[in-house]
Amino acid sequence: MLGIAGARGFGRPGHAGADVPVELRFVDLLLIIIATLTFLAVLLGLSGALAGSGHREVAPRVATTTVPTALTRQTYQLTLAASGGDGAFSWQVTGGHLPAGLALHPDGVVTGVPSGQGSEPVTVQVRDGQGRVAAQQLLFSVRPVGAVTEVRRDLELAHQTVLLPSGQSGVPYRYDFQAGSGVPPYTWAMAGGKLPDGVSLTRQGALVGSPGSAGDSTFTVRVTDSAGAAVTQQVRLTVDPAPPSFWDTVLTWLWRLITWFGYFLVFVTFLTIVFGAPPSQGNPGLIHRFRRNRYYR
């Protein structure tokens, strides 16, 4: 039985000492090539999956840089925000002391009723599930209730375009807006524009959800304090594309290898037609005959 285009493969000694050609069938060669390509595709896909996406390897960062002023004997609540990391955040105070009556909980919420007045520089630290940490110094101020008029004027001027930390398609996202001043508690609402699909704004100022598609979204939020003062702020959120999955990477590389193999078959078919064995041999084709020490045309 003949092999590829009438070809025979590598020889082995016969009974009389002569070289006897060993048949190499087309199906055998094709299966070997397919198995090799599949192995390479899986190997390349696995290496890409192990490398991971840079988005998940970003160290945590404290996104809150300023905190609203607290008022004496008024309930105060603030949620600290962080970006990067793996999302499993734990907070603590590592430097200074919060004003009397306030406490920082492990989930990043500062609550309490301040009893004094003044300003306290405090260093807060966030730690993610992999043990990576980030710290930020914040200035907590407590003013008497009589300073509300000045604080309200500051709130009305605090509007500007803000670029939020970017999110990733299909990955849970959270960002907590903070008011720079005013009389807590605050109420947040949409004032214009459109949020990314899958993301919503809570009344407490938390932007939460899993973005459905990549792209930029510009929208306006409005915050109202308990004294009735309100201010709007335009913000922009960028959603990055989701990283390819392991099997997407494998299939992509497998498709590329199959495509290259197709080009190779076209090329060798052309060579077979042009440089095939002479018709007098009876078996024209790409591979003629291989023997252990001789090559016959």
110 and 171 in a single domain? The answer is: no
Find residue 221's DSSP bridge partners: 190, 233
Q: pLDDT at position 59, please? A: 80
Yes or no: say if 7 and 289 are a contact pair by the CB < 8 Å rule: yes
Q: pLDDT at position 93, please? A: 94
122 and 164 in a single domain? The answer is: no
End residue of a domain, out of 87, 112, 144: 144
User: Please, what sign has the CA dihedral across residues 264, 270, 271, 276?
Assistant: positive
Yes or no: say if 133 and 139 are a contact pair by the CB < 8 Å rule: no
Residue indicated by tokens 């990283």: 243
In a domain, 226, yes or no: yes
114 and 171 in a single domain? The answer is: no
61 and 134 in a single domain? The answer is: yes
Note the residue count of the chain: 297
Residue from 202, 172, 158 nearest 83 by CA: 172
124 and 167 in a single domain? The answer is: no
End residue of a domain, out of 242, 260, 276: 242
Query: What CATH number does the domain containing 110 carry?
Result: 2.60.40.10
Yes or no: say if 103 and 80 are a contact pair by the CB < 8 Å rule: no
In a domain, 103, yes or no: yes
In a domain, 292, yes or no: no
Separation between Cα atoms, residue 105 and residue 101, nearest integer Å: 13
In a domain, 66, yes or no: yes
Q: Which residues of 208-232 are buried (b: 16+ CB within 10 A; e: fewer)?
A: ebebeeeeebebebbbbbeeebbbe
Residues of the chain short of pLDDT 70, as ranges, are 1-32, 34-35, 37-57, 145-162, 180-181, 266, 268-297
Q: pLDDT at position 224, please? A: 87
Residue 179 amino acid letter: A
140 and 161 in a single domain? The answer is: no
Domain count, the chain: 2
Yes or no: say if 108 and 91 are a contact pair by the CB < 8 Å rule: yes
Q: pLDDT at position 7, please? A: 43
113 and 76 in a single domain? The answer is: yes
The token duo for 56 is 């998940």
Q: pLDDT at position 65, please? A: 78
67 and 123 in a single domain? The answer is: yes
132 and 163 in a single domain? The answer is: no
Find the domain containing 224 and state its range: 157-242
**Confidence (pTM):** 0.42
User: Please, what sign has the CA dihedral across residues 273, 277, 281, 284?
Assistant: negative
In sequence order, what are the residues at sequence separation of 6 or more whose Cβ sits closer than 8 angstroms to the Cβ of residue 173?
167, 199, 207, 208, 209, 210, 211
List, in sequence order, every beta strand (DSSP E) within 108-229: 109-112, 118-127, 133-143, 162-163, 167-168, 173-176, 187-193, 199-201, 206-209, 215-224
End residue of a domain, out of 144, 165, 193: 144
79 and 130 in a single domain? The answer is: yes
